[in-house]
């Protein structure tokens, strides 16, 4: 089983219109609402990849009940209400505009402790953990790092796909896997990487401090994986247009699915599959879904190149 943690879930709303124009009234062609949040999206994609996954985190009673109708869940009921995210999808060219509400403040003073105990109790039964998304008010940014530290100590492959201070603290956990986007990697490293070589140079100090792998997601520019053994860049021949919301979650699902087998990781193959899976999510208007046939067709077309890894900054004179 793979466990996902979503601390700030959401109801995902998708409005489909022909063309979105600022300041104008629009006739919405269709509306779709579903439970969401980054970890929820990862869970959905894992199930589509044939992996059994369970979702935990914080929620209110109504959200937990709705989630239970779709997937195995074990939420801590700590939120007074669950936020919404709205995506306006344009049918003319697939362009998506997203509006994200802030999350509610956690009302249960023991919520963090309860979640940590819940995750700890499941560690003997899981072979992968993904902690992803933002944190609601009232939760210490060190909680994702705490969960990751306990999971890594138990030998469980662990991805932290978080941001801000939570990401900085997670980067201090030896053995964790990070999946930052370009802006997050810039905040972590204090650099502004643009080329693949600069991304590797920005990620290398994190590896030197004990991070197992940095998988940098770069949108249409593909992904770069940096580990102690090397660095690889994977790209598609041409980027796909569509809704990028959930593409990173699909990539995280592909990475943890591969690592959960406990085989020696082939990072070139993992990165290839992650790029194909993310692209297969972009063409779907809603987050947490992939076009599995497209994923299969795209995988052989992904270009993978090994990058020259710079020397460790700790040994560079």
**pLDDT tens, residue by residue, 122-180:** 999 999 999 999 999 999 999 999 999 999 999 999 999 999 999 999 999 999 999 99
DSSP string, 53-96: EEEEEEE-HHHHHHHHTTS-EEEEE--SS-EEEEEEEETTT--E
Which of the following is catalytic: 12, 161, 249, 291? Answer: 249
- The pLDDT averaged over each successive group of 10 residues in the chain (317 residues) is 96 90 91 91 94 95 94 94 90 83 89 96 96 94 97 96 95 96 91 90 94 92 92 87 78 95 86 92 77 87 83 49
**pLDDT tens, residue by residue, 174-193:** 999 999 998 999 999 888 88
Tell me if residue 163 is catalytic. Answer: no
**Residue recorded with tokens 């819940």:** 118
Give the pLDDT of residue 316: 43
**Residue recorded with tokens 């499941």:** 122
**Residue recorded with tokens 């935990």:** 56
Whole-prediction pTM value?
A: 0.88
Give the pLDDT of residue 212: 96
Give the pLDDT of residue 220: 83
Structural domains of the chain, ranges and CATH numbers in brackets: 2-6+38-72+109-307 (3.40.1190.20)
Give the pLDDT of residue 55: 96
* Residue 294: half-sphere exposure toward Cβ, Cα within 13 Å: 15
Closest C-alpha to 102, from 80, 82, 131: 82
Give the pLDDT of residue 247: 86
């Amino acid at each position: 089983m793979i466990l996902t943690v979503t601390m700030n879930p959401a109801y995902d709303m998708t409005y489909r219109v022909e063309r979105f124009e600022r300041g104008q009234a629009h006739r919405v062609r269709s509306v779709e609402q579903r439970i969401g949040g980054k970890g929820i999206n990862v869970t959905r994609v894992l199930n589509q990849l044939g992996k059994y996954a369970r979702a935990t985190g914080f929620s209110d009673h109504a959200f937990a009940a709705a989630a239970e109708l779709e997937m195995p869940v074990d939420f801590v009921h700590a939120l007074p209400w669950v936020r919404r995210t709205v995506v306006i999808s344009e049918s003319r060219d697939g362009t998506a505009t997203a509006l994200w509400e802030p999350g509610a403040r956690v009302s249960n003073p023991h919520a963090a402790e309860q979640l940590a105990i819940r995750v700890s109790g499941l560690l003997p039964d899981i072979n992968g953990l993904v902690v992803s998304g933002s944190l609601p008010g009232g939760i210490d940014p060190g909680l994702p790092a705490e969960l990751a530290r306990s999971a890594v100590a138990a030998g469980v492959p662990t991805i932290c796909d978080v941001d801000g201070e939570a990401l900085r603290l997670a980067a201090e956990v030896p053995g964790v896997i990070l999946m930052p986007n370009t802006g997050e990697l810039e905040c972590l490293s204090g650099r502004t990487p643009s080329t693949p070589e600069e991304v590797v140079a920005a990620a290398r100090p994190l590896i030197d401090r004990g991070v197992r792998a940095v998988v940098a997601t770069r949108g249409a520019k593909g992904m770069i994986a940096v580990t102690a053994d090397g660095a690889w860049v994977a790209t598609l021949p041409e980027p796909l247009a569509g809704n990028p919301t959930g593409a990173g979650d699909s990539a995280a699902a592909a990475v943890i699915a591969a690592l959960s087998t406990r085989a020696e990781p082939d990072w070139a193959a993992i990165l290839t599959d992650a790029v194909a899976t993310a692209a297969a999510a972009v063409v779907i208007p809603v987050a947490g879904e992939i076009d599995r046939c497209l994923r299969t067709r795209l995988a052989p077309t992904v270009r993978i190149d090994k990058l020259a890894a710079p020397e460790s900054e700790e040994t560079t004179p």
